[in-house]
Structures are given as C-alpha cells and as structure tokens.
Amino acid sequence: MLQLQRIRENKDALVEALTKRNIDAKAMLNGVLLLDEKRRGLQAELDNTLAESNKLSKEIGMLYKSGKADKANVLKEKTTELKETAKLLADELNDTTDELDRMLYQIPNIPHESVPAGNSEEDNEEVFRAGEVPQLSDNALPHWELAKKYGLIDFELGVKVTGSGFPIYKGKGAKLQRALISYFLDKNTEAGYLEVQPPLLVNEASGFGTGQLPDKEGQMYHIKRDDLYLIPTAEVPITNMLRDEILAETDFPVKLTGYTPCFRREAGSYGAHVRGLNRLHQFDKVEIVRVEHPDNSYKALNEMVEHVKTLLNELQLPYRILRLCGGDLGFTSALTYDFEVFSTAQDRWLEISSVSNFEAYQANRLKLRYKDKNGKNQLAHTLNGSALALPRLLAGILENYQTDAGIKIPEVLVPYCGFSSIE
C-alpha cells in the first residue's frame, strides 16, 4: 500500500498519476489524510494522558512514603479517571487505525511514468516481438483437439473427477508438463535464483501482504474452517517468506524461484478463447521473485524480462512483449510487461507471463525493510514474474509444433522428456 508520508507530501501528484488507471482518487486521498490527522491527534492525546498518569503515580508513591496518605488517595482517584480515559482513547485509536488501513488497502499502486494511458488491453503497448509464425497445413488443429487426438490431456475426465477447468494430463502430455517445469527451474537456478518449494496454502496475512486481499478475494479458494487460502500464484508464499524482515544492504539482490500448482476461481465464459488450456482453475507455474534495493529495481526488472525472453527464444516460439496500460495494470503493480505466445491454430496471442515491479507497495504491506547506510529502516522493492506459466505455453507448443505426422518437441526439451515427437 502507499506510504502515508508520500500521500501527505505528494497528494496532488498522486491524484494526477492515478488518472492513468482511470481513477479519480482525490476523495480517497483526502479521506486518508483526514483519518490520518485524527489518528495522530488521538495518539498525541493518548500519549499525554499516559504521561500524566505516570507522573501522578510517581507522586503517589512519594506521598505514601512521606505519610501523606490522604493526598495520595485523592491522586489515586485522578489516576483511575486517567486510566479509563486512556482506555477509551486507545480503543478509538485502534478503530481509527483499522479504518485508515482499510482505506489504504483500497488505493492501487502508482503507475510508473512509462506506463501508457489507456482503458483496457486494447491500449497496451507492444514493445518487442520475436520468432517466426510457422506455416501450418489447412487441417491444423487447436490444442484441445490435438490433446484428444494424441491422448495427452483428458478434459472430460477432469470434469468427472473435479469439475470444469481441472484437466488431467496423461502419458506424453504429463511427461511434457514435467519436462517444462524442470527446464524452467534449471534455467532459473542457473540465473542465480534460489529454488524453494513453498506451501500451497497461505494465511490471511500473506494474502494481504502481496495484495491479493482484499482486491482478489473472490478469485481465491478459501478454506473457511482453517481460514486458509489456496494460492493463486507462487508469488504469494515466496514473497511472504520475507514478511516482517529487516535486510542488510549486502543481502540484495534476493532472488527466489519455485514451482507450484496455482488455483483461481476466475469466472468462466463460453467460446474458443476459454476452451482447453486457455483458462483453468488449476494450473502449473514456475515463478521468479526478487527483492531489491530501490535504486536497482528497474534494472532488475529489465534483467527479468531478458531472462524470460531467453526461455522463449530457446523454445523457438513466436512471442511478443506488451507494456500494460494504466487501465489494464494490476492493482499492486507499478509497471508490468506481459509476454504472449502466438497460437497459430487459434490465430491469436495467448498470455503466458507477467513480469512486474511493485516498487515499495507490497513491501509496505509486508513490512519488508532494509537498513540503509545511516542505519535507518527503509522499504525494499519487490518484483515477480512467471518463468513460465504452463497451460497456454503448452497450448502454443502443441499448436505451433504440429505437423501432418505428429507433434515435434522443442529441441531444448528433448533431454528432459526423453522423446523428440508425439505421433
């Protein structure tokens, strides 16, 4: 969330910056400042009340020692009144602080100056494109037909076992899925990321820490009895590993990677654009997370983008990179690059990765700090990206590598899956 000091000092500039998100934030920010003023007033009043109570307590002790019990008892009545006042003030202060936090949680991150204005994905800016779109035969099939033809993925059996959006991978389909996960993890660790295997369930504090709560509450699967959430992305548990930590400047950069299944409700709809692997409730993804010194976070973002480009170049898939506009930017992100692979059989682009810099927005929620050279605590910057999300990437591989004789396997994956084609 945004820092109060930043809002106090730059309110008008922040209101202007949030117009890129098509938000008129003036009323919200004014409300925050009014509550903050009330909170600070209550804190000062409480501090003064407690200080007076402590002062009288010392006087009472001295009066008793000097045999002036009557005067001491009069002051005791006064301290009792002060303690009751302090309790009322503390309760009001807690309520005001909670309300202030709730208001701050409703304000999205400030877009980076390079974020283009726009209302939707139609206004995103293409910044890079690579790879050649293959020329397929007239009888080329979309991935859901290929999966059925070659026995790779059983969507109907997944519906039987669980429901729509929970496919079952079989045979070479399962092996190809496992090969992709291993390949991505190997490439990430070679690039200096420490591999971790995080939990698939997180508590409410973790959801608030990375910004999934309260913004995406309806998209997360909630286990009410234990008050735990199935993770929508490995970003949540991995980033929260550093919640409430104070790092040294020498600890930067913190680079972590992990594979997890991901779970998202995501309201379904009908049509080819959500068929097969295009939209799932459970899917596999390999994530990269970085915690950086603020001075280095945008250099780190560029490094992450280049790393994901390397993966797609080695897979020899046609892809493009988009800089998201303000209207399509995620709630917690300051700048996001989306990677999309071209699905030749569907004749459209499929999103397979988002690489984002959250600046200090998540760190403020997480209380993730570092000590600067002067020994003062400062907020770190957090970043994350998919490297990579599997479902649509697998769809792109199946469709772009299909031939009349079968499906070729990208050369870089052959050592991982143990076969070079699906026939």
With respect to residue 115, please indicate whether it lies within any of the assigned structural domains: no
- 233 and 370 in a single domain? The answer is yes
Which residue shows structure tokens 């569907």? 346
Q: Please give the pLDDT value at position 72.
A: 80
pLDDT per residue as tens digits for the range 272-327: 567 899 999 999 999 999 999 999 999 999 999 999 999 999 999 999 999 999 99
Q: Please give the pLDDT value at position 57.
A: 85
- 96 and 151 in a single domain? The answer is no
| Binding-site residue ranges for ATP | 264-266, 351-354
Domains in the chain, number? 2
pTM of the predicted protein model: 0.93
Cβ atoms of 278 and 392 closer than 8 Å: yes
With respect to residue 114, please indicate whether it lies within any of the assigned structural domains: no
Q: Please give the pLDDT value at position 73.
A: 83
Low-confidence ranges of the chain (pLDDT < 50): 269-270
- 97 and 145 in a single domain? The answer is no
Residue 414, domain CATH: 3.30.930.10
Q: Please give the pLDDT value at position 274.
A: 78
- 278 and 341 in a single domain? The answer is yes
- 46 and 140 in a single domain? The answer is no
Q: Please give the pLDDT value at position 423.
A: 94
With respect to residue 112, please indicate whether it lies within any of the assigned structural domains: no
pLDDT per residue as tens digits for the range 163-199: 999 999 999 999 999 999 999 999 999 999 999 999 9
| Binding-site residue ranges for L-serine | 233, 264, 287, 384
- 334 and 394 in a single domain? The answer is yes
- 98 and 32 in a single domain? The answer is yes
The CA distance from 261 to 196, in Å, is 14
| Binding-site residue ranges | 233, 264-266, 287, 351-354, 384
Helices 4-18 and 26-65, axial angle in degrees (round to 10):
170
Q: Please give the pLDDT value at position 271.
A: 52
Q: Please give the pLDDT value at position 273.
A: 66
- Region at 395 (left for phi over 0; alpha for psi -120 to 50; beta for the rest): alpha
With respect to residue 110, please indicate whether it lies within any of the assigned structural domains: no
Residue type, 169: Y
The CA distance from 170 to 147, in Å, is 10
Q: Please give the pLDDT value at position 267.
A: 52
Q: Is the alpha carbon torsion for 74, 76, 79, 85 positive or negative?
A: negative
Q: Find the domain containing 60 and state its range.
A: 4-105
Q: Please give the pLDDT value at position 387.
A: 97
Residues 6+ apart with CB under 8 A from 417: 172, 175, 176, 178, 179, 409
- 231 and 135 in a single domain? The answer is yes
